[in-house]
Amino acid sequence: MIDPVALQIGPLAIRWYGVSYAVALGLSMWILWKLNRKGKIFKTADQMYDLVFWVFLFGVILGGRLGYVLFYNLPYYLQNPIKVFAIWEGGMSFHGGLLASLLAGYLFCRKNKIDYLKLADLAVIPAALALFFTRIANFINGELYGRVILNPKWKWLGVRFGDGALRYPSQLFQAADSLVLFLVLLFIFSRKPKKGVLFFSYLALYGLFRVIIEFWRAPDPQVGFIFHFFTLGQILSAIMFLAGAIGLACRYRRS
């Protein structure tokens, strides 16, 4: 396994987890600006920086952490409230971050009188690529790992995450599907789709990919399986898929 600490300078530790978020943020801003030259959503660069700042701070960081605390491990954090702030130890919920990011984007659009769906269509493209880097960070951190490999022919895929078991590197599977999602969205963008198609495609495709990949990912031990078969991530992603599919159906029905 890779050391989660990228650089140690005395008591100061720079972790790969933080590096991945920094790279994802910087690259997302660059892609968003490049796409905006065609989409003409932001009137100034400062407007774009304002959106990215609030979505990253309020959506990704605060929403992602609170989503994990509330959805996945509330009893633990009620007993250890100071641990809520220890984000370097891992524990971020994608679905919590998504909901908070959507709210931050909505408030930004109201303030700046920008069409919400047009902005969402643009923002989901770099958002898909950003997930690639955060999933790599999950792998390095040894969190959100896969289920134990039982079939001998798949042993070559196995990685040990400290518990002695040979497991699927489900974080890398999710990194790969994030990269595929990014490329698919770029292709759809190049076809100049109707308003809302990119956003709802993102919801539907991410939800579908996540439901599938979760069959190789171990459920969070404090949550376990729901109905003896599904993970909490699968249920939340299935809702996300349905929302995207309904949104696409409404877009095309209206057209």
Rounded to the nearest integer, the mean pLDDT of the chain is 89
Q: Give the per-residue pLDDT at 255.
A: 59
- Structurally, the chain folds into a number of domains equal to 1
Cβ-Cβ contacts under 8 Å for 155 (sequence gap 6 or more):
149, 166
pLDDT, one tens digit per residue, over 59-98 is 888 998 998 888 888 888 888 888 888 776 667 888 999 9
Q: Which helix (H) or strand (E) holds 15?
A: strand 12-15
Q: Tell me the pTM.
A: 0.90
How far is 95 from 60, CA to CA, in rounded Å? 10
Q: Provide the domain limits for residue 159.
A: 5-254
Q: Give the per-residue pLDDT at 198.
A: 97
Digitized pLDDT (tens) for each residue of the chain, 255 residues in all: 677 776 778 777 777 778 888 898 899 889 998 888 766 788 888 888 899 888 988 888 899 899 888 888 888 888 888 888 877 666 788 899 999 999 999 999 999 999 999 999 999 999 999 999 989 988 988 888 999 999 999 999 999 988 889 999 999 999 999 999 999 999 999 998 999 999 999 999 999 999 999 999 999 888 889 988 899 999 999 999 999 999 999 988 865
Q: Which helix (H) or strand (E) holds 159?
A: strand 159-160
How many residues does this entry show for the chain? 255
